């Protein structure tokens, strides 16, 4: 008999399992996938750490979380500075002085601010749709070239038909700062995320290719308590219906060239290009292997926005009113499960960045183990 069964070897499960073991508890971790690390899983392709379930950049302002996670990996100095490609014109992101200089030839922050103000003022009164909202925040030129097409691809609808509230803020920087995240700490674990999770699970029994929901009775009988990080609606066999997700489809290619786009992320902001962005994985680690050698090939992932249907990989929860209400119903049901605690992005139906996932798992560990 184990003290804890952890369902899911993703980040939440790994943090909790590590803490449980550290506190002298016996732990068994299971995952239905053939690998650990959940959605932050990376695998080596042509010597490159390939982010299979989408590009992951660690960033946080939480010093406690940073001190915690750096026990398991050394982080490199990667800084996220995406580039936007609008019909072959390249712009620096997020919107900053480099962007404004390229867009209008302006040189000083004052000139840039003037240009933006002049364009913003064309929208008077309450914005009626997302298009008007975006123009009222950044002006028409930035909207047309850098917001419109990307947003329309993401939502599969025209910006004029989308509600204004979807975009609340579009930050504008009147400085030459193109560091996307406003985070105190940022980087990519050297050697990949899978290695980092492996270090967290060191000395802990892990069984892969085990679907808890298919062998529920057997595994329930194995432990006093269960930490379940799978989907909450699946746990209850979708008794109240499906929670919805937004999905992403990846098209991956290995190219026999050393450098495809010179940056980890390039967003395609026109409507015509079918993908929303291309990730070139090697640039998360500066194009080098762990010994510092240049890598001869490259791996890219084209990302497409796609409709989610039950059975697809759940990526982003749709936290709208309908789904949040349904989640609350499932949550009530989950509170009656005395032996089981629900956690992580699927168990709590929340978009959690990695740092928030770690904080949330540490909080749970603190409340249960100390
Ligand atoms: P998961 O990683 O999903 O782990 C849950 C695990 O449970 C999975 O391994 C699954 O196989 C397993 N499981 C589910 N059901 C069962 C079952 N019935 N039986 C057995 N096992 C089961 N965060 C950032 O900070 N920076 C980023 O750049 C970033 N990029 C992201 C990009 C994308 C496309 C997405 C979707 C998320 C991104 N995130 C990012 C968020 C990050 O992925 C999450 O914070 C993190 O993966 C959450 O970990 P988790 O353990 O809760 O969930």
**What pLDDT does 95 receive?**
97
Determine which one of 132, 244, 285, 303 is catalytic.
Answer: 303
Structural contact between residues 122 and 140, judged by C-beta atoms closer than 8 angstroms: yes
Rounded CA gap, 195 and 41, in Å? 9
Distance CA 324, CA 330 (A): 10
Global pTM reads 0.96
What is the pLDDT at residue 308?
A: 87
Instruction: From the CA of 316, give the closest atom in ligand 1.
Output: 36
- Over residues 329-345, the pLDDT tens digits come to 999 999 999 999 999 99
Alpha carbon distances (Å) from 134 to 94, 173, 179, 257: 15, 16, 22, 38
Q: In the chain, where does the domain assigned CATH 3.40.50.720 lie?
A: 2-78+185-243+317-369
- SS3 of residue 279 by DSSP: strand
Q: Is the CB of 15 under 6 A from ligand 1?
A: no
Rounded Cα distance between 130 and 215, Å, is 47
Beta bridge partners of 304: 249
Look up residue 35 and give its two tokens: 């690998």
Which residue is catalytic, options 150, 173, 270, 327?
173
51: CA distance to ligand 1 center in Å? Answer: 12
Q: How many CB atoms are located within 10 Å of the residue 226 CB?
A: 21
Span from the CA of 293 to the centroid of ligand 1 (angstroms): 31
* Token representation of residue 188: 């990519």
The pLDDT score that the predictor gives to residue 283 is 98
Instruction: Establish whether 303 is a catalytic residue.
Output: yes
Indicate if ligand 1 lies below 6 Å from the C-beta of 192.
no
C-alpha to C-alpha distance for 369 and 24, rounded to whole angstroms: 9
Up-side HSE of residue 85: CA atoms within 13 Å toward CB?
17
CA of 224 to the centre of ligand 1 (A): 25
The finding on whether 344 has its CB within 6 A of some atom of ligand 1 is yes
Whole-angstrom CA distances from 140 to 34, 45, 123, 145, 164 are: 48, 42, 10, 9, 15
Q: Is there a contact between 192 and 56 (Cβ–Cβ < 8 Å)? A: no
Distance from the CA of 185 to the center of ligand 1, in angstroms?
A: 21
- CA-based torsion, 290, 294, 296, 297: positive or negative: positive
Ligand 1 within 6 A of CB of 230: yes
Q: Check if 246 is active-site.
A: yes
For ligand 1, atom 6, which residue shows the shortest CA distance?
A: 8
Mean pLDDT rounded to a whole number for the chain: 96
Beta bridge partners of 42: 51
CB 197 near ligand 1, within 6 Å? no
Report d(CA 215, CA 32) in Å as an integer: 11
131 is catalytic: no
> Rounded to the nearest whole angstrom, what is the distance from the C-alpha of residue 345 to the centroid of ligand 1?
6
Cβ–ligand 1 contact at 345 (below 6 Å): yes
Q: Which ligand 1 atom minimizes the distance to the CA of 355? A: 25
**2 vs 223: CA distance, rounded Å:** 4
Active site residue 173: yes
Q: Identify the CATH number of the domain defined by range 2-78+185-243+317-369.
A: 3.40.50.720
Q: Is 276 in the pocket of ligand 1 (CB under 6 A)?
A: no
Distance 14 CA to ligand 1 centre (A): 11
Give residue 15 CA to ligand 1 midpoint distance, Å: 13
Burial 27-57, CB ≥16 within 10 A → b, else e: bbbbbebeebbbbbbbeebbbbbbbbbebbb
Listing DSSP states for 137-197 in one string gives HH-HHHIIIIIHHHHHHHHTS-GGGS-GGG-------SSS---SS--SEEE-BTT-HHHHH
**111: Cβ–Cβ under 8 A, 6 or more apart, which residues?**
104
| Whether residue 313 lies in the annotated active site | no
Query: Tell me, what's the pLDDT at 156?
Result: 85
Residue segments in the chain with a per-residue pLDDT below the cut of 70? none
CB of 8 closer than 6 angstroms to any ligand 1 atom: yes
């Amino acid at each position: 008999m184990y003290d804890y069964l952890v369902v899911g070897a993703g980040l939440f499960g790994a943090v909790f399992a590590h803490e449980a073991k550290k506190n002298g508890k016996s732990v068994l971790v299971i995952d239905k996938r053939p690998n650990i690390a959940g959605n932050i899983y990376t695998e080596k392709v042509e010597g490159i750490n390939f982010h299979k379930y989408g590009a992951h950049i660690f960033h946080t302002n939480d010093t406690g979380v940073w001190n915690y996670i750096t026990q398991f990996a050394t982080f490199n100095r990667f800084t996220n500075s995406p580039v936007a490609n609008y019909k072959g014109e390249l712009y620096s992101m997020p919107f900053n002085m480099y962007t404004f200089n390229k867009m209008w030839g302006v040189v000083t922050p004052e000139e840039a601010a003037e240009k933006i103000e002049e364009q913003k003022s064309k929208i008077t009164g309450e914005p009626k749709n997302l298009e008007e909202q975006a123009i009222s925040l950044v002006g028409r030129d930035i909207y047309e070239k850098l917001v419109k097409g990307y947003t329309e691809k993401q939502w599969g609808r025209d910006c004029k038909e989308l509600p204004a509230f979807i975009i609340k803020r579009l930050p504008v920087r009147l400085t030459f700062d193109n560091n996307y995240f406003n985070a105190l700490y940022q980087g990519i674990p050297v050697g990949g995320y899978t290695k980092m999770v492996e270090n967290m699970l060191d000395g802990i029994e892990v069984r892969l290719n085990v679907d808890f929901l298919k062998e529920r009775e057997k595994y329930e009988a194995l432990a006093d308590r269960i930490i379940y990080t799978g989907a909450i609606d699946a746990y209850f066999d979708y008794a109240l219906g499906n929670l919805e997700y937004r999905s992403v489809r990846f098209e991956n290619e290995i190219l026999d060239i050393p450098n495809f786009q010179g940056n980890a992320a390039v967003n395609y902001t026109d409507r015509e290009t079918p993908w929303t962005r291309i990730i070139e994985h090697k640039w998360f680690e500066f194009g080098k292997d762990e010994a510092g050698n240049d890598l001869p090939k490259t791996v890219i992932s084209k990302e497409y926005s796609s409709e989610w249907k039950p059975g697809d990989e759940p990526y982003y929860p749709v936290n709208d009113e309908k789904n949040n209400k349904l989640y609350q119903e499932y949550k009530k049901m989950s509170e009656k499960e005395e032996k089981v605690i629900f956690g992580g992005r699927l168990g709590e139906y929340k978009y959690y960045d990695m740092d928030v996932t770690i904080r949330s798992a540490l909080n749970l560990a603190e409340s249960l183990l100390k």
